Amino acid sequence: MIGEVDNLTVATGLDFELVRIDRHFRSIRAGPLNARRRPKPIYNTPMLDYRTAGESHGQALIALVEGIPAGVPIALDVINGELTRRQGGYGRGGRMKIERDQVNILSGVRRGVTIGSPVAMQIANKDFRLDEAPPLHRPRPGHADLAGSLKWLTNDCRETLERASARETAARVAAGALARCLLREFGIDLIGYVVRIGEVVAAVPFDFPIPELRSARDANEAYCPDQSAASAMIEVIRRAKIEKDTVGGVVEVQVHGVPPGVGSCMRWQDKLDGRLMQAVGSVQAIKGVEIGLGFAAAERPGSKVHDEIDFDPKLRPTSSLGFTRRSNNAGGLEGGMTNGQPIVVRAAMKPISTLLRGMDSVNLLTRQSERSDYERSDVCSVPAASVVVENVVAFEIARSFLDKFAGDTLKETRAAYDYYLQSARSLGGMGSTIE
Ligand code: EPS
């Protein structure tokens, strides 16, 4: 299979192998010579992955992250900071007053740095009463109660709801925040915020620097950078609470600093837009995911959708490599790959399905019509969802980033990244292409 091996030296001073698998599938694996004599198969599963375990009122939530390279400094304050933000936001219920979500790293990290082994993280539940929690027989429309009870052949909705609960998102945030520790080594930064609650829509400029957006977002409990929209959003949530109802909304995530070429158009499984949609669409209560202009692109002619291309040599050091756009309607993704522009993902969250006023339902024991059960819940957790989606997006970016810049160690990943950027910057003009 291996056609040729070239060696070259790049700015980092490391030697590299260009491993040509065959004419059609070419894989460039960068790393110190000898360390990577055998190329990895191209069709391997994504290197970085995670699983979660735990019930809402079980002992703890667990996130198990595999495939993070050795040598990544882990900032506990970053992970715990994201967990604390996830607990907050206007409209949260009583549970968040009980819990103090903090991660306990059980494996994979030594003296604050990853060592290449799986990273197991635990978030203890203070409200641990799984065995004592009462059964629920009147499924809440919109929750997993009925579908899950039918699936697992039970009349007790609790069997399903304990795992279906959005409490699990704490583990996802921990995994995503861990992945951010890798991303920040490469200057990749993210921000998530709320752009809509019910009918209140915020105006958020997409070309603002992240630090400014972040301080505007953190100035209110709606997690929305537009202060006047934030006040109106809080009012909508307050009214919903009085009416014993719930409200949904839309969150948006921007990712800055991702170089071009992350993701791929070669296999549908590797398309980064598809991966983002799957990951974000799997977050509890998310019913729609858009990239860039999203559904609005369908309303416009092509000339008003596609982002025209310019070249500005001054911007060559940035992730755009100098190829600037007059708009970012593609949301940073073309052909399933990053194009160097900020990535923009939006997600629509339905209103929480536990309503204090209840909804019409059926008692699973009697099959008679009754109002649905009430469990302690939130009136609105769209602000919390902005934190969850931000970190879920972070994980997917890190996963695709490592697919391109694979390495057992951060040093190898950095070398692959540097090698790629150096090569990409020399494309065209006076530079040369890689043959
Ligand atoms: C949540 C914990 C849950 C709910 C909420 C999110 O805790 P409890 O059920 O004990 O109140 O507050 O879950 C839901 C809204 C849901 O429908 O499952 C959390 O940690 O985010």
User: Which numbered atom of ligand 1 lies nearest the CA of 376?
Assistant: 11
Q: What percent of the chain has pLDDT over 90?
A: 85
**Å from CA of 165 to ligand 1 middle:** 6
Task: Report whether pLDDT(13) > 80.
Answer: no
* Ligand 1 pocket test, candidate residues 143, 158, 163, 167, most atoms within 8 A of CB: 167
* Ligand 1 pocket test, candidate residues 57, 145, 162, 377, most atoms within 8 A of CB: 377
Q: Give per-residue pLDDT as tens, 112-146.
A: 999 999 999 999 999 999 999 999 999 999 999 99
**Å from CA of 164 to ligand 1 middle:** 10
Residue with CA closest to ligand 1 atom 4: 377
From CA 351, how far away is CA 360, in angstroms rounded? 16
- The average confidence (pLDDT) of the chain is 90
Task: Report whether pLDDT(372) > 60.
Answer: yes
- With 0-12 / 13-18 / 19 or more C-beta atoms within 10 angstroms meaning exposed / middle / buried, residue 432 is exposed
Task: Report whether pLDDT(292) > 80.
Answer: yes
Residues having CB closer than 6 A to ligand 1 are 56, 93, 95, 127, 143, 165-167, 169-170, 352, 354, 375-378, 384
* Ligand 1 pocket test, candidate residues 52, 83, 95, most atoms within 8 A of CB: 95
User: Which numbered atom of ligand 1 lies nearest the CA of 161?
Assistant: 18
Residue with CA closest to ligand 1 atom 12: 377
**334: confidence class by pLDDT, cuts 50, 70, 90:** very high
Task: Report whether pLDDT(435) > 90.
Answer: no
User: Which numbered atom of ligand 1 lies nearest the CA of 164?
Assistant: 18
Q: Give per-residue pLDDT as tens, 72-81.
A: 999 999 999 9
Specify whether the CB–CB gap between 310 and 327 falls below 8 A: no
**Which of 21-30, 248-257, 385-394 is predicted least confidently?**
21-30
**Å from CA of 63 to ligand 1 middle:** 18
pLDDT at 30: 45
Residue ranges of domains in the chain: 4-44, 49-404
- Architecture label for domain 49-404: 4-Layer Sandwich (3.60)
pTM above 0.75, yes or no: yes
Q: Give per-residue pLDDT as tens, 197-236.
A: 999 999 997 778 999 999 999 999 999 999 999 999 999 9
User: Which numbered atom of ligand 1 lies nearest the CA of 92?
Assistant: 12
**Å from CA of 210 to ligand 1 middle:** 29
**10: confidence class by pLDDT, cuts 50, 70, 90:** very low
Q: Give per-residue pLDDT as tens, 350-361.
A: 999 999 999 999
User: Which numbered atom of ligand 1 lies nearest the CA of 127?
Assistant: 10
**Å from CA of 241 to ligand 1 middle:** 16
From CA 320, how far away is CA 421, in angstroms rounded? 11
**375: confidence class by pLDDT, cuts 50, 70, 90:** confident
